[in-house]
Structure formats: structure tokens, C-alpha cells
Chains A and B, each alone.
Chain A
Amino acid sequence: MENMVNIKINNMPLSVPQGATILEAARKAGIQIPTLCYLKDINQIGACRMCVVEVKGARSLVASCVYPVNEGMEVFTNTAKVIKSRKTTLELILSNHDKNCLSCLRNNKCELQKMCADLGIEDSHRFEGENPKFEKETSTLHLVRDNNKCILCRRCVAACDEQHVGVIGTNNRGFDTDIGCAFEKKLADVACVSCGQCTAVCPTAALTERDESHTVFEALSDPTKTVIVHTAPSIRATLGECFDMPIGTNVKGKMVAALRRLGFAKVFDTDFGADLTIMEEATEFIGRVQNGGVLPMITSCSPGWIKFCEHYYPDLIPNLSSCKSPQQMTGAIIKSYYAEKEGIDPKNIVAVSVMPCTAKKFEVKRDNQSGTDGIPDIDIAITTRELARMIKNAQIDFVNLPDEDFDPALGVSTGAAAIFGATGGVMEAALRTAADTLTGQDLKDIDYKEVRGTDNIKKAKYNIAGLEVKVAVTSGLKNAAKLLDEIRAGKADYQFVEIMCCPGGCVNGGGQPIQPASTKNFNDLKSLRAKALYDEDEAQTFRKSHQSPLIKKIYDEYLEKPGSHKAHKLLHTTYIARSKY
């Protein structure tokens, strides 16, 4: 039983757990105190001063996001003094904010804009004066930083530190304060892993994904091109949020319908590529175990994780599976098997992938990501947010669309692939196939629940056909670093490790729909979104990758067998050590 304390908020008596902040307590009373900098657990610095409240007996206004309640406390959240303070703070923030809201990527989705509307700002130009002017930072493939829109809330800095990367921070002081990299280097010149978590927490459009939606529209307008799209497992679980649907709604059918209406020639499913990944990866794993290969083998689906490994743990590169990610495998098959079958010159195919991830934009341009004659496997990777933007640009009535199915040529998949989008999903999918392969049976007990969920590091031991397999699963690079330090120090004897870059896996990827902090702080996005994927898995006829009729067909007709010469040429890749500084 928690210890409770009795307080009053706006004269209403309330019993709240000891240790709660005033912000949390007020929420229980139905009052959402406004915040800009506060991100639960990762950015609790009381810097923005939007959350100030009056506490009886306190000398000045206090920051409710960090101020704990105590017995008998009397709090007032909307006195004239509080309201004046918040409005002044907001007007000061606006005084050096680029207020071109109508042409801003975050128009209508901006936390600062919403707060001005909610709090009733009277004069957005009250404090005019000299403003610092910043060049847009466009050095990377995955994001754009526009510090003219930055409000110095430091959420991005916290997100980057939480990822154990920490390449952005607050530089200089006072008027000159800005968010940037050490020694004012470009983001492309430091060890940024491209995860995009900073873009998912920015309250304004100071940090955005590099928007490539116009490039896709251009391709769609080119009559000489066959434009093919495929969508990652987690997109169906999140896209609906951009259209105000409840978090965790599976919108697969509407998503496919929307993509057809945008004009894509074929709408394929990256889940197919995920099944293919499992075939190759499970085979690689069994091979490493049986032939004394480098163990533990670590999954390679997450390009942010791959880049992290290359920068910060280059000594563990031999542990990485050589499998390309499902995005790249799907692209490689589109431009080889599918192109040959349909008699299309792969040079005239534009393969577009819809991903939860900004690092996928980087992955597309990596070396050794071209299965067919130097033609890139994927041409354009867009995020969930960019797809939503395209659907809105095209004025497609998403919510009222009928449900449609993927094009079957590369649109059939299994439950194993569906769960790729959540932490533990790749491991579980691989174990399902590896266990059947090693036992030669169609095992019925296929729920590896120990590797599911959002615990930081999940460890489990399985006995498969007399072989003891120790596995570990983690997501979020801070957790990954802990696990990797263990492996590096020789303190761990896992054979198989799954690492996803973003906390909770792809459902919480850096390219996913942005939920405001007021939602994020009080809802478990990761679990709500992941549930949609596990429900999809449960509902599938085939729940093991090797049982997919499409997978069987492609190996029979084209790839021969997992790990074959042809499979290696198309579906495997290499990595390089990168510098940390």
C-alpha cells in the first residue's frame, strides 16, 4: 500500500501518493498543467517555467513538474499570478521563435502553437528585439534541424542521452545558447546513429525528419516509372494516430487502400521481407552454433542499432548477423525476382518503403545495399509521418476508407513477421523457425513470452532439440550498451541477442507519429502500439515464417534455400567500423 498524503488543489481536497509531483497530483484532479520541457523520467529539469503554480507559503511560484507534494500542501493552479507568469513566459519564448506557422511542418501538430491557443496569448509579438539567426542544419540524410524554431526545452538532448549517444547538447550561454554538436560540428560529422528519437520528442519543428514526400509524389507522376511501396510491420499499428484514431488501432486495410489511392502500382508488405529475414537469420544462427561461428549472434534489422555498433562497439561487428534488414530484403526481391517475373527493367522501378524509422533513410544509402547490378534495393524510405502527410496532401479521407488487402505477389506474410515491430519480436520469430528446423517438427508451443514486453533487458533460456539456447533481448541503446558491456567483458554467454535501437522497438521508432508530451507522459505508447501487433500475430493462419506459402514459393522458384549463394548475393550485407569522434 502506497503512503498517501492529503493536499488541496484549488481548494479541492485530494489524497495522492507520497512522492508524486504537483503535476501528477493535479492530473488526478482533472487539471492538465501545461508543460514544454517536461518528459517523464528523461527530462525533469523544470526549465521552461510553463508549469508554475502557487503553493501556499512558498516565496515564489514553483515548477510543478519537479515539486513533490507533501502533507497539508495547498496548491493553486490558475490564479491571476500563475496565468500572467505563464503568458509572459510564452510570449518571451515566442519573441525569438520563427513564427511562420502556416508553412511549418508541424502546423496544427505543434505543442507551442497549441499552448498559445489554449492559454490565450494576446500578443505574439510583445517582446520584439534582436534575434539570433541560425542556418538550417541539413547535413544528414535523416533529419533537418532549424534552430530558429528551437525553444531550448532540451528534450532532444535528453532523448539523445537516453540513447547513450549524446552527440547533441546545449552550447554557449545566454543569448547565444543553442542546441548543437561539440565544436559546432555538423551532425553528419559526429557519431549520430540516425535514430530520430530527437525528432519524435521535439515540441516544435526545430527537429523534423528529412521530408521526402515530394520526391515520392514526383516519382508517382513519372509515367516511365513503376512505383512500388511496402510498409513495415509497425506502420499499421501507428498510422491511425495521425488521423486522431486511438493509439494501438490496427489500420492495415485503410493504409493499403490509401496507398492505392496515392497511385502506387503495387502495395507490398515488408512483413514478407521480415519472414525472409527470419529464414536467413535462423539459418545463419544454426550455422554459427553448429560450426563454431562467432557468438552471440546479434540481430541486424535495426539500422540505428547497426550504426551505433559501428561507432561505439566496432569490436562486436563480427557478432552482427550478416542479414540485411526486412526493408532492404524486400527491395532486393522487388528488383530481382519480382522484376524478372513481371518483365520490368529494375532500373525503371522506384521502390518506396514506409518505415517507423529515420535511420532507414541512412540505411538506404549504405554500401552493399544493392542486390542487383548496383541498383539500390530501395530508392526512397519515408517515415510514418511522411506517409500521413502525403495522405493529407492528397486529401484522402483516411478514416472512412474501406479495408483493402496487400497485393499478393509480395504481400503474404505470417504472424512471426507481424511482431517484428516490437521489442522481442525478431527473437521470437527466429526461435519459432529455429526450433522447428532443429526438431524437424511443427511445434505447437510457439509463444516465447519471456522475450515480450518492455522490460529493459529480457533474458531467457530455451531447450531446443537438446540444445540449450541462451538469449537476451533489449531495446533502447542505453540498455543495449549495458548488455554489450557485459558481452565485451566476457561476463555473458548468450548465443543469440536481439537489439532494437529505439526503446520498445519499431513501434516507438523515431519516424512514428508524434504524440505530445501530455499524452506520452501518462500513457505507455510502446505497449499500446505493440499490442496491435501481437493481436495480429494471434489472428494469423500461419505464425511461423517458414510456413508462409510465399516464402516457400520464392525459395523453390528463385533463391533455392536459405543461405544459398543467390540468397547471399541478394539478402546479406557487410558493416564497417566508424569513428566515435
Chain B
Amino acid sequence: MMCQHCNHAPCETVCPVLATTHSNEGLNQMTYNRCIGTRYCANNCPYKVRRFNWFNYMGYDKFKNFNPSQDSLSRMVLNPDVTVRARGVMEKCSMCVQRIQTGKLDAKKAGTPVADGAVVSACSEACPTHAITFGDLNDNKSNVRGISQNNRAYHALEEVGVQPNIYYMAKVRNTEDQEA
């Protein structure tokens, strides 16, 4: 499960140092260099989507065999646009904030609004069956807005009241067959 980017995020209220906050675009942001690592946010997440850096994975010998990025050549597997998180900080899905930022800057240079589909999250891009759609929910004409208004769209654990920004689609069933 990925971060649901809740609009009433339980993780945000509990952080004593405001390391996780809400952006004006509806993202639940994680500020790694502000995090002191109390893990309260992870405990209070009903989806349990937060992950903690228990060790210094980049430098600890114990992980030499598992972490390819420890030597300078294999280090190139790391995404240059994303900070490598330090020991003792929390992390989670950022909704590819680096891609959103690039998309916004490109649009600004071109002097046009960000077009629907110009920014795609890495998960959405990688999925061969297009099971993941990414976009601006505030844009009336966006693909993702249309999908969110579909009858099949629902929020995971909606009853907890955290108002997620992620929608799931209910499975399509052949109801006629079942009735017969």
C-alpha cells in the first residue's frame, strides 16, 4: 500500500517538530531533514505506509551484501533527483514530488498551465496495465478527476475519516452471471 496523502492526515498532527505537513496541492509532505525520528507518525497511520530508516543503510557493513548502492559504481542505481534518506528519519511515498516540481517548472518556462498527463508518477509510468492514474484532482477535465467520480471509485478505510487523496476502483464483476 502507498501513502494515501490524507487531507485529515493523522500523521501530521502528531509530529512534535512539524516534519510532516500538508502542501497546498494536497500532498502529505515528509521533510526528512526536519525529522527527529519519534516514529509517532508511523504508529498513527491507519494504512501503515510509513517506513523508518532503522540503520545507516548506506554505510553500515552489515548491509554490504544487500545494498548495492554502497559501492561507487552501483550507486548509480539511485535516482539523482531524490535525496538518500539518513539514518533515523521517516520516509514514505512522496507522490514523486520531484516529478511534479519538474513538470511545474517546465510549464512555467513554456508559459502554459501544467497539461493533464504532463506529470506522471513513477508507479503509474511503470505499470504495464495502466492500473495507476496520476493527475490533478482540482482540474475538472483531468483523467483522474473523471475516474474519481466513477461509481466504482472509493477510498480505502473511508470510515476512519482521514479523507485520503487516493481512490481505488472496485472490482468489475459480471453480476448477471452471478444472478443466473
The yes or no verdict on A and B being binding partners is no
